[in-house]
Amino acid sequence: MAEKKMVEAITSMEDNFSQWYTDVVHKAELVRHSGVRGCMYVQPYGTALWENIRNELDARFKATGHENVMLPMFIPESLLQKEKDHVEGFAPEVAWVTHGGSEKLTERLCIRPTSEVLFCDYYAGIVQSWRDLPKLYNQWASVCRWEKTTRPFLRTLEFYWQEGHTLHETAEEAQAETEQMLNVYADFAEQHLAMPVIKGRKTDKEKFAGAVATYTIEALMHDGQALQAGTSHYFGDGFTRAFDINFTGRSGKVEYPHQTSWGMSTRIIGGIIMTHGDNSGLVMPPKVAPVQVIVLPIAQHKPGVIEGANAIADSLKDIARVKVDASDNSPGWKFAQWEMKGVPLRVECGPRDLEAGTCVVVMRHNREKITVNISDLPMQIPVLLQQVHDGLYQKALAHREEMTHTATTLEEICSIAKTKPGFIKAMWCGDLACEMQLKEQAGVTSRCIPFEQEKIADSCICCGKPAKEMVYWGRAY
């Protein structure tokens, strides 16, 4: 019974991408739906993936001088309301605690949808002098936003993330921090998740509630929709003035620190699935794969086969995350299951292989098979994992390039938006009116104003006035 469920074909991505996604997250045993709308039971395989993401990001944060803290999940209503834009952005989508035990609270508490105001309240108590700056803090937490429609990882009521919050003496330092952390995210996405991203700035319409500027990394999913994969915000001193966080500067004058925040969430798991997955299921980027190598004994009832498989796994245990599947399921079922789970490398060893001192290594993403001497495996596996990583990255990059279009007239952008999924590059004058018109007529929103600009035309694609910037437009998760 349990076996059948796993090997049943999943919906093909060409037929129904959304259903394919749902099939994959469940059949690869990443999550199950919980009894609370929009909340996940994240299964061991999904949790292990998130832990690998977390550990690598955490190491990168610590290497750039950040420390972790833990702030409460509750925000008193009055605290949330201290910064005007922020409360307007978030109040409509928070969960409210009104009772503790049997007693009604005198002030409602919201479950944090993000923690800017908590960090501000904390910072107000610990910053007095320029010597106390910078404050470079991060926290790993779950937050809650009361979304109308939800999908596992992509949009859930409760989601897991990290949120960095920093205070700096000067605007320049804060801006440099914002940029540094965007680069950390971009490098992590590309070097660790094999996910090519475009770095840029959000338009004012799309920026974070309360931010002066929001920077983003945008990835293109297999179906041509964009995913905001990580963001880094520059706040100026808006929050610090609202929360009366100030310090005695070097010159003895009272000053307000400049602030940033930056976050990456479990949403990135949705991005991994939709960047690399195929009609056999998940394809895990090797560096975060919970299992990097699955060893399958073939004809395992024959003497010495399971022992041989275990010996292979043993020889790799300090080199890769390796597992042997010696269960009594059929080889065909095992192939399908571990492909569904997206394990980068499968090592097959049968009696004849073992006798010859060889095994067959199959790469998940392109099904290439090679025969390797068992004694060479400890040397070969890291090389093959890197090869898989590079292959995934190149494939995703080629796909994105193929799906990136250019438009110079309103008719053209409408026609492309209707017929070709993907990014559309077009010039923009910077006016909200044009941004709104493109949403209405072409059905696309601005994804980002990329740091790497190209001059496609002189005038705004919408109003014809002189263009300020080239913008990536598209549909997004």
Q: Is 72 in the site for its own copies (CB under 8 A)?
A: yes
Piece of the chain touching its own copies by CB under 8 A; list 46-54, 198-206, 294-302, 443-451: 46-54
Q: Is 314 in the site for its own copies (CB under 8 A)?
A: no
Number of residues that bind its own copies (CB under 8 A): 57
Distance CA 224, CA 330 (A): 37
Cβ-based nearer residue to its own copies, 94 or 198:
94
Q: Is 310 in the site for its own copies (CB under 8 A)?
A: no
Cβ distance 220 to 447 under 8 Å? no
Could you tell me whether strands 226-236 and 213-220 are parallel, antiparallel, or unpaired per DSSP bridges?
antiparallel
Among 6, 11, 60, 69, binds its own copies (CB under 8 A): 69
Give 278's DSSP letter.
B
Cβ distance 423 to 197 under 8 Å? no
Q: Is 251 in the site for its own copies (CB under 8 A)?
A: no
Distance CA 179, CA 344 (A): 32
Minimum separation from the CB atom of position 32 to its own copies (A): 6
Cβ-based nearer residue to its own copies, 94 or 460:
94
Q: Is 359 in the site for its own copies (CB under 8 A)?
A: no
Minimum separation from the CB atom of position 8 to its own copies (A): 16
| Identity at 159, one-letter amino acid code | F
Q: Within 90-149, which residues bind its own copies (CB under 8 A)?
A: 92-102, 109, 111, 118, 121-122, 125-126, 128-129, 131-132, 137, 142, 144, 146
Around Cβ 418, how many Cβ atoms within 10 Å? 9
Cβ distance 347 to 298 under 8 Å? no
Give 106's contacts (C-beta < 8 A, 6+ positions apart). none
Q: Within 157-216, which residues bind its own copies (CB under 8 A)?
A: 157-158, 160
Helices 44-63 + 171-193 axis angle, to 10: 140
Q: Is 83 in the site for its own copies (CB under 8 A)?
A: no
Tokens of 293: 């190598």
Among 41, 172, 373, 390, binds its own copies (CB under 8 A): 41
Tokens of 449: 């104003």
Minimum separation from the CB atom of position 291 to its own copies (A): 12
Q: Is 65 in the site for its own copies (CB under 8 A)?
A: no
| Identity at 86, one-letter amino acid code | H
Q: Is 252 in the site for its own copies (CB under 8 A)?
A: no
Could you tell me whether strands 258-265 and 213-220 are parallel, antiparallel, or unpaired per DSSP bridges?
unpaired
Cβ-based nearer residue to its own copies, 148 or 418:
148
Around Cβ 437, how many Cβ atoms within 10 Å? 15
Residues at the site binding its own copies, with contacts judged by CB under 8 A: 1-2, 32, 34-36, 39-44, 46-48, 50-51, 67-76, 79, 92-102, 109, 111, 118, 121-122, 125-126, 128-129, 131-132, 137, 142, 144, 146, 157-158, 160
